[in-house]
Amino acid sequence: MEVSAKVIAEHLGGEIVGNPDVTVSSVARIESGKPGTLCFLANPKYEHYLYTCKASIILINKSFEPKEAVSATLVRVDNAYEAVASLLDLLNTMKASRRRGRAWSAHVAFSARLGKGVYVGQHSYIGRRASVGRNTQIYPMVYVGEGVTIGDNCIIYPGVKIYRGCRIGNNCIIQANAVIGSDGFGFAPTADGSYKKIPQTGIVTIEDDCEIGANTVIDRSTMGTTLIRKGVKLDNLIQVAHNVEIGANTVIAAQTGIAGSTKIGESCMFGGQVGIAGHLHIADRTRLAAQSGVQADIKEENKAYIGSPAFEHMEYMRAYALFRRSGRKK
């Protein structure tokens, strides 16, 4: 699928410098651009590639002025980094072909409800009283348990397991092999030193516009619901324990673990391998550096933390400087 500079500029609200009719069919990094590809320049450290790049079209910021001649057609936009994300979405939409109907080997219970335009792939299972919204794509080998609700325009990739009663909103993407609604890790010690399993009777609720990464696990609540608010983006290999609540538009990188009953605020950003203890409250817009370990409430909004145990970023840097200085040989 080819798209012209004119179409790209119209889609992005950009200005063309060069040939508006030149076309591209894929996107490449600016250091490896070739004819027929589109690249973008957002970071000044890559500017030198702009003058040697062979790409047909390059997105640049309106505020940027090249110091040398550029052979490619330029499309000037307000923010090249944001624009390329929008453009990738456009190209993906143009290439994508939504399937409809159900594969012969899929099992759909008689009491399940499928909306218009739903696709159910081979060997997928839709349980009793489950409901799947319009235009949702359920790829092969997906398990949708009894009473599950999935909204409109969702994509459920192969191998996903959604346990009984869980609720998925509209426009959600769940990547391969994620597990939604497995039992929370709840065991009560007994007098003889063994552990008695605590029944996990709740569900998981994922609101609209969320994305759940591959092999991520979100446990059902003991009672009530484990809650993933609107717009949350979870990376691969994340563990979300029972009764956790993650606030709207929070993004969390891979291998993070969140213990039970912790409440995370809105618009937070967590790096990879963050660990958060149970029953904590994390304020809105909190930023946690990779491998941070949080063991106490974070009450002040819009602060950055680092370390294990985690503490405020500037305080950490001062402490680290003292640590480095004390370790030097005299």
pLDDT digits (tens, 9 = 90+) for 169-211: 999 999 999 999 999 999 999 999 999 999 999 999 999 999 9
38 and 137, same structural domain?
no
Of the residues 42, 62, 95, the one at which a domain ends = 95
273 and 156, same structural domain?
yes
Q: In what order do the strands lie in the sheet with 37-41?
A: 15-17, 73-77, 57-61, 37-41, 26-27
What's the CATH number where 16 sits? 3.40.1390.10
Whether 300 has a pLDDT exceeding 90, the answer reads yes
Contact 242, 221 (CB under 8 A): yes
Q: Which of 51, 55, 49, 52 is nearest to 73 (CA)?
A: 55
- CA 282 – CA 280 distance, rounded (Å): 7
What digits encode the pLDDT tens for the residues 128-171? 999 999 999 999 999 999 999 999 999 999 999 999 999 999 99
Write 25-33 long-range contacts (CB < 8 A, 24+): 25/1, 26/91, 27/84, 27/87, 27/88, 27/91, 28/55, 30/55, 30/58, 33/58, 33/72
Whether 254 has a pLDDT exceeding 80, the answer reads yes
Helix H or strand E segment including 94: helix 80-95
Average pLDDT score over residue span 298-309: 94
> Percent of the chain beyond pLDDT 90?
84
Residue 243: what pLDDT?
A: 97
Instruction: State pTM to two decimals.
Output: 0.81
> Percent of the chain beyond pLDDT 70?
97
What digits encode the pLDDT tens for the residues 272-286? 999 999 999 999 999
Of the residues 95, 110, 134, the one at which a domain ends = 95
Residue 95: what pLDDT?
A: 59
| Residue 305, both tokens | 């933390």
264 and 214, same structural domain?
yes
Average pLDDT score over residue span 62-86: 92
Residue 330: what pLDDT?
A: 53
187 and 277, same structural domain?
yes
Confidence of residue 91 (pLDDT cuts 50, 70, 90): confident
Taking residue 45's Cβ as centre, other Cβ atoms within 10 Å add up to 6
Whether 236 has a pLDDT exceeding 60, the answer reads yes
In sequence order, the 6+-apart residues with CB closer than 8 A to the CB of 43 are none
Average pLDDT score over residue span 214-222: 97
Number of structural domains found in the chain: 2
> Is 242 one of the annotated active-site residues of the chain?
yes
Average pLDDT score over residue span 25-42: 92
Residue 116: what pLDDT?
A: 95
Average pLDDT score over residue span 55-84: 93
57 and 22, same structural domain?
yes
- Domain span at residue 46 reads 3-95
- Cross-strand bridge partners of residue 183: none
159 and 46, same structural domain?
no
Is residue 180 in a domain? yes
Confidence of residue 87 (pLDDT cuts 50, 70, 90): confident
Of the residues 95, 129, 159, the one at which a domain ends = 95
More confident residue, 315 or 155: 155
Is residue 326 in a domain? no
Residue among 11, 242, 279, 313 flagged as catalytic: 242
Beta-strand pair 131-132/113-114? parallel
306 and 160, same structural domain?
yes
Whether 112 has a pLDDT exceeding 90, the answer reads yes
Is residue 327 in a domain? no
